[in-house]
């Protein structure tokens, strides 16, 4: 399943090479295109609204409403929200936590998958099913014991607690993915290395990892973005302003009662911006991996 879904993006591109010949070019096609364009504009309209109103002055908004183009670019709402929410801090926190989870999550997944996919240890199937069930169940069912443990060990309100929790949760999923990739890893390469006297540890790092690098990057990218978007556990674990992530800060924005509409637009835009940047960088990876991310 995993390899099949990982390669989906490519097969979609390939199968289009030969368009059908002799198709009718009726004026009807413009009607269909117009319909789809109306739908896409409807979908993207909220993004546009956030953009337009985040750079509008409060006076302009009061006079011309949310639908007008700003008379002049005004960044005061953006700056105000940035400072109010200490957005630099939130960005640093989110990047730190997500990056650490990506690295440690991939590492854990790799070790597990090496034992399951290459080592074919007994009980592999049972292990994978337990891992999958473990991440499918709602986080509500583990959040309180985690919260209690974090308090007991002094890790409460530390980014480390969130990093540990998500490195493990994401790796459960990564193990499932990488195991099926490693399950079909060419045996001959490993046997050749073993004949040359490589230890298992050397096989992992000098044979498997170099071949697997692109896949590991994809998995790491997913871990990064999924962790970036996580809400419940960071909300519970990170109470102080200084430790919160962008996602948590956004979730608590409504409680702060931003009465100024341009501030709400600015908050939205700042929440959207990192995602758009990831999207532009990782577009292919993201749409390709959507099926494998389905069970999250």
Partner 1 sequence: MAVGYGAAPTQQRGYYLYLIPGALGFIVIVLGPQIANFVLSFTVWKGVGLPRWAGLQNYQRLLQDDQFWGSMIHTLLFIISMTIIPVLIGLVLAALLFDYIREQFGEQISSLLRAGFYLPQILPVTTAGVLWGWILSPIGVANIVLKAIGLGGLAQNWIGDATWALAAVSLVIVWIQVGYCLVVFMAGLSRIDPSLYEAAQLDGAGWWQRLFAITVPMLAPEIFVVVLTTMIAALKVFAPVFVLTAGGPDNATLVPSYLTYYHFFTTQRVGYAAAIAVVQTVITVALAVIFLRFQSRQEAT
Residues 74-103 that bind partner 1 (CB under 8 A): none
Helices of type H across the chain:
2-6, 8-14, 28-54, 58-64, 76-84, 87-113, 124-136, 140-153, 159-183, 187-195, 200-202, 209-229, 232-237, 246-253, 261-288
Choose between 75 and 148: whose C-beta lies nearer to partner 1: 148
CB 190 within 8 A of CB 118: yes
Residues 219-258 within binding reach of partner 1 (CB under 8 A): 225, 228-229, 231-232, 235-236, 246-248, 250-251, 253-254
Cβ neighbours of 192 (radius 10 Å): 12
Q: Considering only the stretches 83-91, 95-103, 127-135, 208-216, report the one whose residues sit in contact with partner 1 under the rule CB under 8 A.
A: 127-135
CA distance 233 to 135: 13
**Tokens at 8, concatenated:** 């989906």
**Least CB distance to partner 1 at residue 290 (A):** 5
- The smaller minimum CB distance to partner 1, of residues 21 and 72, is found at 21
Q: Which is nearer to partner 1, 9 or 58 (CB)?
A: 9
Q: Which of residues 31-50 bind partner 1 (CB under 8 A)?
A: 32-33, 36, 39-40, 43-44, 46-47, 49-50
Would you give the DSSP letter of residue 255?
Answer: G
Closest distance of CB 193 from partner 1, Å: 14
Which 176-215 positions form the footprint of partner 1 (CB under 8 A)? 187, 191, 200, 204
- What is the rounded distance in angstroms from the CA atom of residue 172 to the CA atom of residue 108? 9
* Among 132, 193, 198, 217, contact with partner 1 (rule: CB under 8 A): 132
The correct pick among 63, 66, 184, 192 for binding partner 1 (CB under 8 A) is: 66
* CA–CA dist 22, 15 (Å, integer): 18
Nearer to partner 1, 210 or 255 (CB): 255
Rg (alpha carbons) of the chain, rounded to whole number: 24
Closest by CA to 36, choosing from 28, 48, 46, 24, is: 28
* Residue in 5, 76, 96, 158 binding partner 1, rule: CB under 8 A: 5
Structure tokens at 148: 């209690």
Closer CB to partner 1, 92 or 130, in the complex:
130
If the CB atoms of residues 74 and 288 are measured against partner 1, the closer one turns out to be 288
- The minimum distance between CB 132 and partner 1, in angstroms, equals 7
């Amino acid at each position: 399943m995993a390899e099949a879904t990982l390669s989906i993006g490519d097969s979609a591109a390939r199968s289009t090479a030969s368009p059908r010949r002799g198709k009718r070019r009726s004026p009807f096609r413009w009607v269909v295109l117009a319909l789809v364009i109306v739908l896409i504009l409807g979908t993207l309209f909220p993004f546009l609204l956030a953009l337009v109103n985040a750079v509008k002055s409060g006076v302009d908004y009061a006079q011309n409403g949310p639908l007008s183009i700003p008379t002049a670019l005004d960044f005061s709402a953006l700056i105000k929200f940035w400072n109010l929410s200490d957005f630099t801090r939130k960005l640093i926190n989110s990047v730190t936590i997500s990056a650490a989870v990506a690295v440690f999550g991939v590492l854990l997944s790799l070790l597990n998958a090496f034992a399951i996919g290459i080592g074919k240890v007994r009980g592999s199937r049972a292990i994978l099913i337990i891992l999958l069930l473990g991440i499918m169940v709602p986080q509500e069912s583990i959040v309180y014991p985690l919260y209690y443990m974090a308090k007991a060990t002094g890790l409460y309100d530390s980014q480390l607690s969130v990093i540990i929790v998500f490195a493990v949760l994401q790796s459960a999923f990564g193990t499932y993915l990488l195991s099926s990739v490693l399950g079909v890893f060419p045996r001959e390469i490993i046997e050749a290395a073993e004949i040359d006297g490589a230890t298992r540890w050397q096989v992992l790092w000098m044979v498997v990892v170099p071949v697997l690098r692109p896949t590991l990057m994809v998995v790491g990218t997913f871990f990064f973005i999924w962790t970036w978007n996580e809400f419940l556990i960071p909300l519970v674990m990170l109470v102080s302003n200084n430790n919160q992530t962008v996602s948590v800060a956004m979730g608590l924005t409504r409680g702060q009662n931003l009465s100024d509409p341009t501030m709400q637009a600015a908050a939205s835009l700042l929440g959207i911006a990192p995602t758009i940047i990831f999207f532009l960088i990782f577009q292919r990876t993201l749409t390709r991996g959507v099926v494998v991310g389905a069970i999250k």
